[in-house]
Structure 1
């Protein structure tokens, strides 16, 4: 469920700590492109072992369509702080309240986008209070718990984190990666070190707690379907975390817009960013968002 993100945001973007009622969160905030009419603001929530960098390649194409995008590291994720050993602050309802606080800090209502685990946390936020949001897009994020094969992988990781340090777990994971995938030629020297730095930035308690959530999440589609928000289910053409047929069915149950991105798997935001950005902007364009804060923050 991990991805290989781009770490260099557009030159127009700003990295800073977003102050909220629930503490500070590291964000990359990309304004609307110069000369383009501002149409709205989007809050981008990453998945398990991911970070705000998973959305880096979406910023420029969405800015060109008139959307300011704010990608966030969740509590205990990469550059956002959190306790290393206490799992209680990483309960799903706590993380959902963080998302509500982030939206409030941006001025609301915002277009909410959640990738994978971030989609389920975002769903919990919407079910607590949908008023800060103009729409909600689930990216490669399914109706309930992850697939059997992925539950086994997450259990291995959680078991390892219980007895090993983060650096030791990283080395163990790298030992299982095929040599040809360790350093992709188009990423340049040092890319693997950036991935390592991101991994080490995660708090073990966060990974253990959210890993458990992925393995036990109930089906809350009926609850979400009752929320009066424009909904969108977007995924790649293949996905081993939630089968695409399951995502198709979820979209039907939600009466949601459905987008399948060709050539992408579990991270269409990384694998096919231009197609993904176009699908997001096309959806947002149809929702209409009167009263949105349109500044660059």
Structure 2
């Protein structure tokens, strides 16, 4: 059940999956135009394995508050949300996972507060800005010139209407703050790598992606794993969202890493 928690003076929408017997805590950060619902399959599966799971809508996205603060959607602020949510719920050295754009946020959260985390999983993400994405430039232009509802019906409704999660996609897109979405798109074009800072924390890192991931180049994700001295796992028959394409295998890969630390 969604609850609302005041973080940095504004409400964030949070989902907690509680295990019967807790062995560890986990924080999951969703990607660009995503939401906490991206983890509605693996969240309960992880809870069944003994993990207390926290996920939430990034500031300005879906059910979380639209912010009027000038720096609300900066990478520093988004990472602070992750850190403060974990502390608010009394999570003890949680494992941190960031999917796609959330991977960039999670890396920032790790560097800003390394004492908070037990491990970092970079999930279908990269070390920095995303290269060679003309559709990202198109999205940025659209978000500068239209409301979220206008852009949905002009560009997304036709392509998404046959998808199983159509209603979720539509609801969260139209509910999100265009300034938040636009700013996050810009972050995908200019965020710098934190590789050296992450290595310096000596916190265990795991790099995971689907074999058909089409966001960051696979070779870039492979090199990131090498630069971080991190294990790399490729999930078969999965694209950019193995949490949806192969949820059981994703949970297996995640828990094998966490339980081995």
TM-score (norm 1): 0.83
2:63 is aligned with 1:79: yes
Aligned length: 260
Does structure 2 retain, via aligned residues, the 8 Å contact 1:42–1:110? yes
2:116 is aligned with 1:132: yes
2:261 is aligned with 1:274: no
CA distance in 2, matches of 1:229, 1:24: 30
The 1:175/1:182 distance shift into structure 2, 3 A limit, reads: closer
CA-atom RMSD, angstroms?
1.7
2:22 is aligned with 1:44: no
Does structure 1 retain, via aligned residues, the 8 Å contact 2:10–2:67? no
Mark the runs of 5 or more structure 1 residues left unpaired by the alignment.
Answer: 1-13, 288-297
- Deviation for aligned residue 1:214: 0.4
Mark the runs of 5 or more structure 2 residues left unpaired by the alignment.
Answer: none
Partner of 2:189: 215
Q: 1:89 aligns with which of 72, 77, 80?
A: 72
Partner of 1:17: 4
- SS in structure 2 of the partner of residue 70 of structure 1: strand
Partner of 2:137: 155
- Deviation for aligned residue 1:96: 1.1
CA distance in 2, matches of 1:240, 1:126: 25
CA distance in 2, matches of 1:247, 1:16: 34
Partner of 2:86: 103
2:147 is aligned with 1:173: no
- SS in structure 1 of the partner of residue 2 of structure 2: strand
2:168 is aligned with 1:194: yes
TM-score (norm 2): 0.94
Q: 2:162 aligns with which of 180, 183, 196?
A: 183
- Deviation for aligned residue 1:176: 5.8
Partner of 1:142: 126
Q: 1:250 aligns with which of 193, 203, 224?
A: 224
- SS in structure 2 of the partner of residue 89 of structure 1: coil
- Deviation for aligned residue 1:28: 1.3
- Deviation for aligned residue 1:128: 1.0
Partner of 1:224: 198
2:14 is aligned with 1:31: no
Partner of 2:45: 61
- SS in structure 2 of the partner of residue 71 of structure 1: strand
> Cα deviation per residue 1:237-269 (whole Å; 9 max; x = unaligned)?
122211112111111111112111101111111
Moved over 4 A (4+): none
CA distance in 1, matches of 2:8, 2:173: 27
Does structure 2 retain, via aligned residues, the 8 Å contact 1:54–1:269? yes
CA distance in 2, matches of 1:203, 1:164: 12
> After the TM superposition, which of the residue ranges 235-244 and 115-124 deviates more from structure 2?
235-244
The 1:282/1:31 distance shift into structure 2, 3 A limit, reads: same
- Deviation for aligned residue 1:60: 2.3
The 1:283/1:248 distance shift into structure 2, 3 A limit, reads: same
Partner of 2:213: 239
CA distance in 1, matches of 2:57, 2:179: 15
CA distance in 1, matches of 2:31, 2:148: 18
Does structure 1 retain, via aligned residues, the 8 Å contact 2:206–2:257? yes
CA distance in 2, matches of 1:286, 1:175: 44
